[in-house]
């Protein structure tokens, strides 16, 4: 589209927009719309949303996923803020091409929301690989197939229904298959005489075969309490093998239901999982047992192959799949013991070490190829789906999360040339996952809520230091968003607050949590446990050549620690009737003071430990957050209360400065102050809010519309260059004022932050 297309999309009435979109879709160019940044920003969300499931190419599919993740925000926002939100989501999901298109389309445009741009965003537990959920009935057994050229999933539910789904769209297709009131236990698919069929067993001890194109019931399969089903071609016939904990295994013609005329020999225990493989010109049945052994038989004769058992699992084998790895036919098994094992079927030996990452039994295994690698996909009782490179034993990427309960079944398919996994869970959901999400994998970060942020210089660059509920402390290069070293571990529970300082000429981070106070060398990652006293908030400053940490606790006390001497200074500061929610330090007439927030705001002389001046009162509730800054040469403190107000105080006189600022998100719990382009700026966010409000501290004026994030904002901090670091959910993002490269470099050199406050 040309440079004027954005304006046309913005000004086109809904009816005209719908007509243009319909014409594009009819021409088979849906992907063109979904990769057009101007369309995504300016088109009505009601027009865009129905197109998302029709994306086919990799770029369009990722763009559709980015838009879908931010859909609720688009519906409530105008074009300027949609552009900001879409850019944030594109950065979160690593879709750099969409970011570039958004930047190109917005060149030369104004708008308050565009005054702050997202420089980078680092994700942690992003479900970027999930394409869609198959909704409509509870999950259960699952298998995949191709019907009339369309990749489908066949799902059998705990309520007894069997449904067929188009994996490209997530919609139900085909005829309705008769269900069972007792539930479906196992499903397999095959192609026989040119027809794609599904074999399903029920808890009512029956087995049925359906033609997936017509819904016709085929043959008269043998009945029994079938636990697992597999299919294979034997002597030009499509054969099904069913496994039972009572009747062993049976082999029968898939179309007629007739038995092959023999029973499998050598069965000494119940078979719990079954698959087939071609090894040395023979089709073998590979069976896992309830005692953890793996056996195999010749499917053409029913004879046991070899006498050696494949033994390694310490509990029942929950799933079996087969594939070819480096010219060898292998079986991949998942067990109740939580391990995944690979076996060379010709040699009867294990391949490599067990694959261990699941924290519970593994009930589902499937295999596929992803970008030239042979991959096993496993699902476990821990609710995760994991991918493994079978050649190296390496787990590929982060586990796929989102299921609330254990995974019962998994299978793989190819959709639009890309491999996918279909997983069914005990939470009654079936989800489709993209196994080849190549545009970019989000950075690994926190696995719990980010509660605290601080910024420090480190070897000539600024780093953001973040901490949260997962108990880790992480360092991020502020310019690139890349980790500036591994996670710092040592806390035994959530980290409530973090601050940075220089101690013994080293840049350090000071963190507090329920297990006490810790000091971290930001360059080496070395940590020291300074105190076991629980802490809620922390601030640091230098007094008479000593770096001091001020720590508040739930008991209303405020303790001061000499970080140079590693000891507590006598006499805790205490004047609050309950929790001290936040702290900030400032310099007033050459004295270092600490402002504490609780039932009221209180100012203390850090050198003497004495309270100075009158309390910062007038709030009608608890003071939840505090920040310190300098406005027009005077030190000020900013306090926010659960009464829904924000107030600014002159720390020299303890008088309120200007009018009370209304807080539209009643109960602000997060506040930070910094200098941006020469003016003092305040950032605040509510305890149950997804937005950040930016104000000019001198005037109280809002600098832009509230910046809305996908998850709750629990931490903010300013950097020396005026960048704003935001912790939302378990993720971190850096926002910067929108300016040219020249302006940005000059601003970074001249701007200074008077104080960065630790937040609750």
Concatenated DSSP letters of 400-435:
B---SS-EEEEEEEEETTEEEEEEEETTS-EEEEET
> Exposed, middle or buried, 28 (CB in 10 Å: 0-12/13-18/19+)?
exposed
Q: What is the b/e burial string over 203-226, where b = at least 16 CB atoms within 10 angstroms of the residue's CB?
A: eeebbbbbbbeeeeebbebbebbb
What's the CA gap between 132 and 522, in Å, rounded? 41
Under the banding of pLDDT at 50, 70 and 90, the label for residue 681 is very high
Q: Which of 493, 487, 411 is nearest to 445 (CA)?
A: 487
Find out whether 548 and 541 touch, Cβ atoms under 8 Å. Answer: yes
Give pLDDT, residue 750: 28
Can you tell me the distance from the alpha carbon of 642 to that of 623, in angstroms, rounded to the nearest whole number? 7
pLDDT digits (tens, 9 = 90+) for 227-245: 899 999 888 889 999 987 6
Residue 24: pLDDT over 90: no
Lowest-confidence region among 256-270, 321-335, 403-417, 511-525:
256-270
Given pLDDT bands bounded at 50, 70 and 90, which one contains residue 648? very high
How many Å apart are CA 218 and CA 208, to the nearest integer?
A: 8
Q: How far is CA 601 from the centre of its chain?
A: 38
* DSSP one-letter code for 53: G
pLDDT per residue over 257-308, tens digit each? 888 887 776 555 688 999 999 998 899 999 998 889 999 889 988 888 877 7
- Give the per-residue pLDDT at 577: 67
Average of pLDDT values for 706-716?
Answer: 88
Query: Span 359-387, mean pLDDT?
Result: 92
Residue 309 DSSP class: -
Q: Provide the 3-class DSSP secondary structure of residue 597.
A: strand
* CB within 8 Å of 158: residues ≥ 6 apart: 138, 139, 140, 183, 184, 428
Q: Which of 109-123, 141-155, 716-730 has the least mean pLDDT?
A: 109-123
d(CA 692, CA 687): 11
Q: Which phi-psi region, left, alpha or beta, contains residue 620 (left: φ > 0; alpha: ψ -120 to 50)?
A: alpha
| CA–CA separation, 183 and 157 (whole Å) | 6
What's the pLDDT at 261? 80
Q: What is the mean pLDDT of residues 668-679?
A: 89
Tokens at 435, concatenated? 């196994």
Of 740, 759, 754, 725, the closest CA to residue 118 belongs to 725
Asked whether the predicted pLDDT for residue 115 surpasses 80, the reply is no
Q: Strand pairing partners for 410?
A: 423
Distance of CA 431 to the CA centre of its chain: 15
Q: Tens digits of per-residue pLDDT, 327-349?
A: 999 999 999 999 999 999 999 89
Nearest-10 crossing angle of helices 96-106, 58-69: 70
CA distance 185 to 181: 12
Structure-token pair, residue 45 = 């969300």
Spatial separation of the C-alpha atoms in residues 641 and 624, rounded to whole Å: 5
Closest CA to 146 of 96, 206, 109, 189: 189
Predicted pLDDT of residue 3: 42
Residue at token pair 């787990």:
395
Q: CB neighbours of 272 closer than 8 A, spacing ≥ 6?
A: 227, 228, 243, 245, 288, 289, 290, 316, 317, 318
The closest alpha carbon to 626, from 666, 684, 575, belongs to 684
Radius of gyration of the chain (CA): 31
Q: Any idea which residue has 């979109």 for tokens?
A: 21
pLDDT band with cut points at 50, 70 and 90 for residue 140: confident
Q: Which residue, 707, 724, 705, 703, is CA-closest to 715?
A: 724
Q: What is the pLDDT of residue 667?
A: 63
Of residues 444 and 626, the one with the higher pLDDT is 626
**In 619-718, alpha helices (H):** none
Please provide the average confidence, as pLDDT, over all residues in the chain. Answer: 83
| CA dist 416 → 54, 151, 166, 169, 419 (Å) | 11, 9, 12, 11, 8
């Amino acid at each position: 589209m040309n440079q004027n297309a954005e304006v046309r999309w913005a000004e086109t009435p809904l009816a005209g927009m719908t007509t243009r979109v319909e014409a594009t879709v009819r021409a088979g160019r849906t992907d063109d719309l979904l990769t057009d940044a101007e369309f995504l920003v300016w088109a009505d969300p009601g027009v865009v949303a129905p197109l998302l499931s029709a994306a086919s190419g990799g770029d369009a599919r990722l763009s559709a996923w980015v838009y879908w993740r931010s859909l609720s925000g688009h519906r409530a926002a105008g074009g300027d803020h949609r552009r900001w939100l879409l850019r944030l989501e594109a950065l979160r999901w690593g879709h750099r091409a969409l970011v570039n298109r958004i930047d190109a389309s917005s060149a030369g445009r104004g708008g308050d929301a565009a005054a702050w741009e997202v420089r980078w965003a680092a994700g942690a537990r992003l479900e970027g690989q999930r394409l869609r959920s198959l909704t409509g009935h509870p999950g259960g057994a699952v298998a995949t197939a191709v019907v009339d050229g369309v990749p489908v999933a066949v799902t059998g539910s705990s309520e007894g229904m069997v449904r067929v789904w188009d994996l490209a769209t997530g919609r139900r297709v085909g005829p309705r298959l008769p269900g069972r009131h007792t539930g479906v236990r196992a499903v397999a698919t095959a192609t026989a005489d040119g027809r794609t069929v599904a074999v399903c067993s029920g808890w009512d001890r029956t087995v049925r075969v359906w033609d997936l194109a017509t819904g016709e019931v085929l043959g008269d399969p043998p009945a029994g309490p079938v636990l697992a089903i597999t299919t294979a071609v034997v002597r030009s016939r499509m054969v099904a093998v069913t496994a039972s904990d009572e009747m062993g295994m049976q082999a029968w013609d898939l179309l007629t239901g007739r038995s092959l005329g023999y029973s499998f020999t050598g069965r000494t225990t119940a078979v719990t999982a079954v698959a087939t493989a071609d090894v040395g010109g023979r089709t073998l049945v590979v069976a896992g047992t309830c005692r953890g052994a793996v056996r195999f038989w010749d499917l053409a004769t029913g004879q046991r192959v070899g006498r050696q058992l494949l033994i390694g699992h310490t509990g029942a084998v929950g799933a079996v799949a087969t594939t070819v790895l480096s010219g060898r036919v292998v079986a991949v098994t998942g067990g109740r013991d939580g391990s995944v094992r690979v076996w060379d079927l010709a040699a009867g030996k294990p391949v490599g070490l067990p694959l261990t990452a699941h924290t519970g039994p593994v009930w589902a295994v499937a295999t596929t190829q992803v970008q030239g690698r042979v991959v096993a996909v496993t699902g476990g009782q821990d609710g995760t789906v994991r991918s493994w490179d079978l050649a190296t034993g390496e787990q590929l990427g982060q586990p796929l999360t989102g299921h609330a309960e254990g995974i019962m079944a998994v299978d793989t398919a190819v959709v639009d040339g890309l491999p996918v996994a279909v997983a069914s869970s005990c939470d009654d959901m079936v989800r489709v996952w993209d196994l080849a999400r190549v545009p970019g994998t989000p950075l690994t970060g926190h696995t719990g809520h980010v509660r605290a942020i601080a910024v420090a210089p480190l070897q000539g660059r600024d780093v953001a230091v973040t901490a949260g509920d997962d108990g880790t402390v992480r360092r991020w290069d502020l310019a690139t968003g890349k980790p500036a070293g591994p996670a710092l571990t040592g806390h035994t529970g959530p980290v409530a607050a973090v601050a940075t300082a220089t101690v013994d000429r080293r840049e350090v981070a000071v963190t507090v949590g329920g297990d006490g106070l810790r000091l971290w060398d930001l360059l080496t990652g070395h940590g020291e446990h300074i105190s076991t006293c629980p802490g809620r908030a922390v601030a640091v400053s230098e007094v008479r050549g000593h770096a001091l940490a001020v720590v508040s606790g739930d008991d209303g006390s405020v303790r001061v620690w000499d970080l140079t001497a590693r000891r507590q200074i006598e006499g805790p500061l205490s004047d609050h009737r309950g929790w001290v929610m936040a702290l900030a330090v400032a310099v007033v007439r050459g004295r270092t003071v600490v402002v504490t927030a609780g039932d009221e705001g209180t100012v203390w002389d850090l050198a003497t430990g004495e309270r100075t001046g009158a309390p910062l009162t007038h709030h009608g509730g608890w003071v939840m957050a505090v920040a310190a800054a300098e406005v027009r040469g005077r030190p000020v403190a900013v306090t926010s209360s659960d009464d829904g107000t924000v107030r600014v105080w002159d720390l020299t006189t303890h008088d309120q400065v200007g009018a009370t600022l209304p807080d539209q998100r009643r109960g602000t719990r997060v506040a930070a102050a910094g200098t941006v382009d020469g003016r003092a700026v305040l950032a605040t966010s509510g305890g149950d809010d997804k937005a950040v409000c930016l104000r000019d501290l001198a005037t109280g004026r809002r600098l832009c519309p509230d910046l809305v994030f996908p998850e709750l904002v629990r931490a903010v901090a300013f950097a020396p260059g005026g960048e704003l670091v935001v912790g939302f959910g378990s993720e971190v993002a850096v926002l910067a004022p929108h300016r040219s490269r020249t302006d940005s470099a000059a601003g970074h050199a001249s701007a200074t932050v008077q104080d960065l406050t630790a937040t609750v």
